Amino acid sequence: MNMGRSGEAPRHKQSGMAMLMALLLVALASALATSLWYGTSADLARMNYIKQQLQAKHLAHGLMLWASDVLRQDYENDDTPSDGAQDGWLQGIQNMPVESATVSGRLTGMNHCFNVNNLWRDGQVSEPHHDYLNRLLSLMSLDLAIADQMIDWLDPDQLPRPQGAENSHYAGRSPGYHTASGPFLHQNQLMLLDAITPEIHQSLQPYLCVLPVRGPATRMNINTMPPLMIRALHNSITPPVANSIYQDGQAHFNRLNDFFQKGEIQILSNQTGFKERMEQLISTQTTHIEAQSSVQMENSLQISYALLRRANDGSAMILQRSQSPFLVANQLN
Ligand SMILES: [Ca+2]
Ligand SMILES: [Ca+2]
């Protein structure tokens, strides 16, 4: 949702808040029932702990439903469903007091980064994604072996690529381990690759992410990509051009065609195959989102995370839950 459409964000928030409050009432009713059930137990401390756990779980569930509602309305109220780094839904809920807890919810878009699982598509290397990653690594003066080793991790064979590494290589480690012959499941798994030292992993963290791919490849959102990643789209995109697209984090192309028509990009757009290749890599939407819910209670702070995917109508479904973040958030924005 474009924040330039003033007046819409409060309406979203009000509706989301109404739903959240309704859910909180359910949570409190449930906690009351829990109290009655455990009222006969002698172990009051244990009873209290379990009650808090249940309450926190219900509150976290309520925050996820709130997130889903806010995201759906964002699309419903937009003529052209596109997302930027200034969208209202990124504001979240901060420290909202409820009966016996304080709850916070935060949503973080995950389409500013390159999804390494896109490197292997439909039983073969995806050349547009491989080329993109090689350009990004070159811009960062990093070894292109990183891309080969990622592909070997993903591909089902045991034939190492020119600078790659398969099971036989990692078997020599102590302790030894195997490649996945399938998608990466978490960003930290990248550190298992021979070419990725802790220092390199840290430098890559803002630019790479691990998202599940079912169906078409995930696409990066041109509105939220940092300048270095915009440069990696094509060798002809210079730092000034990348900065003019980035617009200090204020970019908001409604459609990819608006991007193709932007001054410096227009010349490239006339080249054969440029638009088709870009359409495989980028879009103007944020489809994957990390939701963080924090529930502060008397004696405990419970933080949980969910990875959400938005459908074409803006509604969100939970792909994964975790007690640790999916993304090292807010390094760039
Ligand atoms: Ca392999
Ligand atoms: Ca291989």
Q: Average pLDDT for residues 202-214, to the nearest whole number?
A: 92
Give residue 36 CA to ligand 1 midpoint distance, Å.
55
Give residue 179 CA to ligand 1 midpoint distance, Å.
6
| Ligand lying nearest the CA atom of residue 182 | 1
Give residue 166 CA to ligand 1 midpoint distance, Å.
6
The answer on pLDDT for 281 being more than 90 is yes
Structure confidence at residue 333 as a pLDDT band (50, 70, 90)? very low
pLDDT at residue 262, as a whole number? 92
- How far apart are alpha carbons 85 and 289 in whole angstroms? 12
| Range(s) of the domain holding residue 64 | 8-110+291-309
| Ligand lying nearest the CA atom of residue 163 | 2
Q: Which is higher by pLDDT, 63 or 150?
A: 150
| Ligand lying nearest the CA atom of residue 148 | 2
List pLDDT tens digits, range 218-228: 999 999 999 99
**pLDDT-wise least confident of 41-50, 85-94, 137-146:** 41-50
Structure confidence at residue 1 as a pLDDT band (50, 70, 90)? very low
The first and second tokens of residue 137, run together, are: 């690594």
The answer on pLDDT for 2 being more than 50 is no
Give residue 42 CA to ligand 2 midpoint distance, Å.
60
Residue 208: inside a domain, yes or no? no
pLDDT at residue 75, as a whole number? 75
Structure confidence at residue 243 as a pLDDT band (50, 70, 90)? very high
Half-sphere exposure at residue 224, Cβ-oriented, CA atoms within 13 angstroms? 31
pLDDT at residue 23, as a whole number? 56
Q: Which is higher by pLDDT, 80 or 133?
A: 133
**pLDDT-wise least confident of 1-10, 12-21, 127-136:** 1-10
pLDDT at residue 327, as a whole number? 75
Backbone angles phi, psi at 6, to 5 degrees: -65, 150
Give residue 195 CA to ligand 2 midpoint distance, Å.
15
The answer on pLDDT for 24 being more than 80 is no
Give residue 210 CA to ligand 2 midpoint distance, Å.
19
SS3 107: strand
Residue 158: inside a domain, yes or no? no
List pLDDT tens digits, range 182-202: 999 988 899 999 999 999 999
Whether the pTM exceeds 0.85: the reply is no
Give residue 163 CA to ligand 1 midpoint distance, Å.
13
Structure confidence at residue 14 as a pLDDT band (50, 70, 90)? low
Q: Which is higher by pLDDT, 43 or 71?
A: 71
The answer on pLDDT for 33 being more than 60 is no
CB atoms within 10 A of CB 262: 15
Q: Which is higher by pLDDT, 299 or 182?
A: 182
- How far apart are alpha carbons 105 and 27 in whole angstroms? 16
Give residue 124 CA to ligand 2 midpoint distance, Å.
10
The tally of domains found in the chain comes to: 1
What stretches of 140-215 show up as alpha helix (H) in DSSP? 145-154, 167-170, 198-204
pLDDT at residue 313, as a whole number? 76
The first and second tokens of residue 176, run together, are: 């030894």
Give residue 150 CA to ligand 1 midpoint distance, Å.
9
- Cα-trace Rg, the chain: 23
Q: Provide the percentage of residues in the chain whose pLDDT is more than 70.
A: 84
Residue 37: inside a domain, yes or no? yes
Give Cα separations from 64 to 92, 156, 248 (angstroms): 11, 36, 30
Residue 178: inside a domain, yes or no? no
Give residue 157 CA to ligand 2 midpoint distance, Å.
5
| Ligand lying nearest the CA atom of residue 161 | 2
pLDDT at residue 20, as a whole number? 59
pLDDT at residue 83, as a whole number? 86
- Could you tell me the strand order of the sheet in which 101-109 lies? 93-98, 101-109, 288-296, 301-310, 316-322
- How far apart are alpha carbons 105 and 316 in whole angstroms? 15
Q: Provide the percentage of residues in the chain whose pLDDT is more than 90.
A: 48
- How far apart are alpha carbons 223 and 34 in whole angstroms? 46
Residue 284: inside a domain, yes or no? no
Q: Which is higher by pLDDT, 231 or 17?
A: 231
Residue 264: inside a domain, yes or no? no
Which residues lie below 8 Å from residue 178, measured CB to CB, with a gap of 6+? 167, 170, 171
Residue 155: inside a domain, yes or no? no
Residue 80: inside a domain, yes or no? yes
What stretches of the chain show up as alpha helix (H) in DSSP? 8-38, 44-76, 127-139, 145-154, 167-170, 198-204, 227-231, 239-246, 256-260, 263-269, 274-281
